[in-house]
Structure 1
Amino acid sequence: MSVTQTGEFGLIERITARLGPAAGGRSGAGVLLGPGDDAAVVAAPDARVVASTDVLVAGRHFRRDWSSPVDIGHRAAAANLADIAAMGATPTALLVALCTPPDLEASWVDGLIDGMVAEAATVGAGLVGGDISASPTLTVSVTALGDLAGLAPVTRSGARPGDVVAMAGRVGYAAAGYTVLSRGFRSPRLLVEAYRRPEVPYHVGPAAAMLGATSMIDISDGLLADLGHIATASGVAVDLRRNVFSLPDQLRNAADALGVDPYDWVFAGGDDHPLVATFPENTLLPEEWRLIGSVQVGSGVTVDGKPHAGPAGWDHFRAN
C-alpha cells in the first residue's frame, strides 16, 4: 500500500501509533504532551533548550537500495542526537518532517519511524511530532531538542593553546562502508553496518561538559573539516597525531582491495559521529576518550605538523 492509498491522515495515524506507550512506552521521560495536538509539550527543567536540525535527501544522503528504512531512521536520528550531545546536553525529543513521493510504500515509513524511535530511546528521548508532505524527492528532516541540566553549553570557540584534543567513538568506519557500497560490494560487514547505522557515544557529551571540556564537536563531515570549525572559532591551530588511530584489519584490507589510503577515511570521512573535545592539559579523562592531538598557537588543522595531502571532508555544494 502506497502513502497515496493510505492518505495523509491515515499515514499520520500509522506514525503516531508507533510512538507512544503502544510502541513500548518510548515516548521519552521529558515528553509532557505527545502527538495529537497542534504542538507537543516537552519539559525544559533547565529553562534553556538546545536545538539542532538536519536534513537527509534520498540519493544525496542515503540510498534505499543500500539501507533498510529502519537503518535510515537510526541514521537520521543519530545525526541530530549527536549534535545535542556535542553541546554537552542530554537529548529530550525529536521532531520529523517527511516529504515523500506519492508512490512510496507506507510500510517504508513504518520502518523509518521505528528506527528513529529506537535510536531516540537509547538516550531516553521521544519522537513527539512533525509534519508530512508530498514531494518528488524523498526527504527526511529531523529536529532534536536537548537539556543542559544546569551546565554551560560547550561551544566550538573555547579551545586554548596547551589543551589536548580527545575523541570518543570511532572514525573512518562509515566512510569506508560508503566506499565499499559505492563499489558494488556488501562486505566487510563491520564497515557496511557502520555506514548504515552509526554507534554514537551520546553519554560522553554531558560527561565531557562536567569534566571541563573547553570545546566540543560532533564529527559528521570529516575529522579535519570539523576540527577546522573549532580551530577557526577558537582562533587556534590543531595538530593531530596519525599514529594514535588504530585501524582494524577489515578497514586496512578494504583499503588495500579498493586502492584507497585508509587514513583518508579517518581524516576526511563522516557519518560515524564520534565526539571530539578539547580539555585542559592535565584533565584526567575516562577510558572512552582517546588523546589524538593538541591545540597550539596558530591556525588550521595539521597531521603530525603538516597539512594532510588527501581530502579534507564533506561539502554539500562540492563534488565529494
Structure 2
Amino acid sequence: MSVAGVGEFGLIDRVTARLSYGSTVLLGPGDDGALVAAPDARVVASTDVLVEGRHFRRDWSGARDVGHRAAAANLADIAAMGATPTALLVALCIPADLPIEWAEELAAGLAAEAATVGASVVGGDMSGSPTLTIAVTALGDLAGRTPVVRSGARPGDVVALAGRTGYAAAGLTVLSRGFRTPRLLVEAYRRPEVPYPAGPQAAGLGATAMIDVSDGLLADLGHVARASGVGVDVRRDAFEVPRQMRDAAQALGVDPYTWLLAGGEDHALAATFPPEVTLPEQWRPIGRVVAGAGVTVDGEPYQGVTGWDHFR
C-alpha cells in the first residue's frame, strides 16, 4: 500500500505510533505544537535537510538507515555546541506512490537514532511532493554549560578529533562504483557512528571551539579558522588508514587520505583545546592552531578539494 492509500492523517497515525518520548517531552504530537522542557532556559537549535537523489538513494540505503542518517546529521550539530539533544521535529515531503512501509521504517530509524541520546521525535509536518525530502530540526539543552562556538580557537590550542572520518565518504565511493563491499565502509555511509557524548564532554573540558565534521574535516576546520581569525595545521600522520579502506582505495584508484581529510558525513566532532588540557581517550590530537589563516596539512597548503559544497 502507498501513502496515498492511507492518506495524510492515516500516515501520521502510523508514524506517531512508532514513537516514544523521553522525560523532556511534556506534550508530544497531536496539538499545534509540542511542549519540551528546557531546564537550562536556553535552547540550542539546528536544522538540516535530506533530498532523495542528492543526499540518499533508496537503492543504496533502507528506509531505517535514511532515518538514522537524517537524525544523526542534526543531533551531531547539537553535540558540537556542547549540548545534549532533547527533541527532533521532522517535516516530510513524500511522493504519493511511496510505500507506506517505507515511511514507517523511516520513522523507526529517526526515533531509534534519537533514542541513543535520550531525545524524542515530538512532531513535524507532511506534504505531498514529487521529490522525497526529509527536513529535521533538532533541539538541545546546555545543562548550564557555556556553548562551544566556532570562533574561540587561539594560536597554541590543540586540534583534536572524536570519532572517525573518511569511512562514509569511502562507502559512498564504493556504492557509486556499483559495489556493496567492504561492508564496514558501506554501513558507515548508511548509518554514521556519531560520538555524541564527546560534545558535552569537550565543553566540560574547556574546549575553545568545536564543529561537527559533516562536509569534510579540512573544510569544516576552515570554518573554525575563519570564524576565529587563526590558522589550523593538521598532521597527516595522525590518521591511520584501516585495512578495508586501504584495500578499497587501491582497487578504486583513490588516495585514501582524500576520504580521511576531505570526506564528510561521518559526523565526527573536531574541537580545539588549550594546550594544558589533558585529553581523554575519546579525543585524539590531530594538529595545532597557529597564527595566520586557513588550513594546512603538515605546514603546506592542501592540494585538492577540502570538502563538500552543494553548489560547486
Cα distance in 2, alignment partners of residues 141 and 99 from structure 1 = 8
SS at match of 1:157: helix
Residue of structure 2 in register with 1:301 after alignment? 295
Unaligned runs of 5+ in 2: none
Alpha-carbon deviation of 1:307? 1.2
SS at match of 1:149: coil
Cα distance in 1, alignment partners of residues 305 and 225 from structure 2 = 18
Residue of structure 2 in register with 1:122 after alignment? 116
Matches within 5 A, 1:27-46: 27-46=21-40
Residue of structure 2 in register with 1:14 after alignment? 14
Alignment of 1:191 with 2:180, yes or no, is no
Alpha-carbon deviation of 1:281? 0.5
Cα RMSD between the aligned structures? 0.5
The runs of at least 4 consecutive aligned structure 1 residues that moved more than 4 Å come to: none
What code does the residue aligned with 1:269 have? G
Residue of structure 2 in register with 1:100 after alignment? 94
Residue of structure 2 in register with 1:285 after alignment? 279
Residue of structure 1 in register with 2:83 after alignment? 89
Cα distance in 1, alignment partners of residues 283 and 76 from structure 2 = 16
Cα distance in 2, alignment partners of residues 167 and 255 from structure 1 = 23
Match for 2:68 among 62, 69, 74? 74
What code does the residue aligned with 1:233 have? A
Cα distance in 2, alignment partners of residues 171 and 99 from structure 1 = 30
Alignment of 1:180 with 2:202, yes or no, is no
Residue of structure 1 in register with 2:232 after alignment? 238
Matches within 5 A, 1:98-247: 98-247=92-241
Cα distance in 1, alignment partners of residues 251 and 33 from structure 2 = 51
Alpha-carbon deviation of 1:310? 2.1
Residue of structure 1 in register with 2:264 after alignment? 270
Once the two structures are superposed, residues 110-160 of structure 1 have per-residue CA deviations (whole angstroms, 9 ceiling, x without a partner) of 110000100000000000000000001000000000000011100000000
SS at match of 2:311: coil
Cα distance in 2, alignment partners of residues 295 and 29 from structure 1 = 40
SS at match of 1:145: strand
Alpha-carbon deviation of 1:77? 0.1
SS at match of 2:140: strand
What code does the residue aligned with 1:216 have? M
Cα distance in 1, alignment partners of residues 257 and 22 from structure 2 = 39
Cα distance in 1, alignment partners of residues 96 and 32 from structure 2 = 24
SS at match of 2:282: coil
Identity of aligned residues (%): 74
Matches within 5 A, 1:26-65: 27-65=21-59
Matches within 5 A, 1:250-265: 250-265=244-259
What code does the residue aligned with 2:186 have? V
Cα distance in 2, alignment partners of residues 79 and 125 from structure 1 = 14
Cα distance in 2, alignment partners of residues 52 and 29 from structure 1 = 21
Once the two structures are superposed, residues 219-266 of structure 1 have per-residue CA deviations (whole angstroms, 9 ceiling, x without a partner) of 000001100000000000000000010111000000000000000001
Residue of structure 1 in register with 2:2 after alignment? 2
What code does the residue aligned with 2:13 have? E
> Number of residues paired by the alignment?
312
Cα distance in 1, alignment partners of residues 253 and 22 from structure 2 = 45
Unaligned runs of 5+ in 1: 21-26
SS at match of 2:152: coil
Alpha-carbon deviation of 1:282? 1.4
What's the TM-score, normalizing by structure 1?
0.97
Once the two structures are superposed, residues 269-314 of structure 1 have per-residue CA deviations (whole angstroms, 9 ceiling, x without a partner) of 0000000000000101110001000000000000000111121100
SS at match of 2:13: helix
